[in-house]
Chain A
Amino acid sequence: SQQGEEDPQALSIQEGENATMNCSYKTSINNLQWYRQNSGRGLVHLILIRSNEREKHSGRLRVTLDTSKKSSSLLITASRAADTASYFCATIMIYNQGGKLIFGQGTELSVKP
């Protein structure tokens, strides 16, 4: 099954505006994580929200989690050109020794100066 499907696939906004990206998933989760990837670069961990949390903040980032709807959203407030990147949500599939991340397709965010 597909886990961590984001929408929109692409989002273009002006600097200073807020950007909201959504993620839906299919199975029950232990936590959900958001990552950022600048073009052709590595994945940078942004924020982790546990299944018993509903909202979490980190600087200009706000993540919400609705386990009843199996969805999460990432809000970036007062966006900057440097926020231009792809954003991925990832759920974790736990096994005996660890957990593997299942990534969505990502939302490509473009912030125009």
Chain B
Amino acid sequence: EPEVTQTPSHQVTQMGQEVILRCVPISNHLYFYWYRQILGQKVEFLVSFYNNEISEKSEIFDDQFSVERPDGSNFTLKIRSTKLEDSAMYFCASSEVGTSGVDTQYFGPGTRLTVL
């Protein structure tokens, strides 16, 4: 069964460093998402991406964050200058369609980001 994959599974970085989290969505999906979960808290929406542009972003997704689909398969989340509070589990998700609002979003296993 096709699945969303994410690399790395765990990333440790120093405060102020740039990190890139990578995702390979399910191949026939058109809508891509990033969510994050700070330890012990809810899963929060960060950003969605469709047709090579951001379609929606949350207030968390400030200028330090960016997303890109550099080729036909990868979807990346970049944090330009990491802060301690960016430490969280980051989940990538994808869905086949999105505008109907009834489509399932399939999640990857997550990347645990630790900022020291």
A104 vs B37: C-alpha distance when bound (angstroms):
12
Taking a contact as CB atoms under 8 Å apart, the answer to whether B45 and A102 are in contact is yes
Chain A, Cβ-Cβ closest to B53:
A97
CA A106 to CA B44, docked complex, whole Å? 13
Within 8 A of A (CB), among B36-59: 41-45, 48, 50-51, 55-56, 58
- Closest chain-A Cβ to B58's Cβ sits at a distance in Å of 8
Chain A 72-106 near chain B by CB (<8 Å), digits 1 or 0: 00000000000000001010101111111111111
Q: A10-18, A19-27, A39-47, A58-66: which one contacts chain B?
A: A39-47
Binding site for B on A (CB under 8 A): 30-31, 33, 35, 40-45, 48, 50, 88, 90, 92, 94-106
Pairwise interchain contact B107-A98, C-beta atoms closer than 8 A: no
Cross-interface CB contact of A30 among B44, B95, B102, cutoff 8 Å: B102
Q: Are B48 and A97 in contact (CB under 8 A)?
A: yes
**Interface SS majority for chain B:** strand
Known interface pairs A42-B91, A42-B107, A48-B102. Does A101 touch B45 (Cβ–Cβ under 8 Å)? yes
B residues sitting closer than 8 Å to A (CB atoms) are 31, 33, 35, 41-45, 48, 50-51, 55-56, 58, 89, 91, 93, 95, 98-99, 101-110, 112
Chain B residues lying within 8 Å of A94, measured Cβ to Cβ, are 99, 101
Q: Known: A98-B55, A100-B56, A101-B35. Is A92-B104 also a contact (CB below 8 A)?
A: no
**A99, B43: Cα distance in complex, Å:** 15
Write the nearest CB–CB distance from A59 to chain B, whole angstroms.
16
Nearest CB on A from B11, distance (A): 15
Residues in A with CB closer than 8 Å to B98 are 97-99
| Pairs across A and B, CB under 8 Å, 18 listed | A30-B102, A33-B104, A42-B91, A42-B107, A42-B110, A48-B104, A50-B102, A96-B56, A96-B99, A97-B48, A97-B51, A98-B33, A98-B50, A98-B55, A99-B98, A99-B103, A103-B42, A103-B43
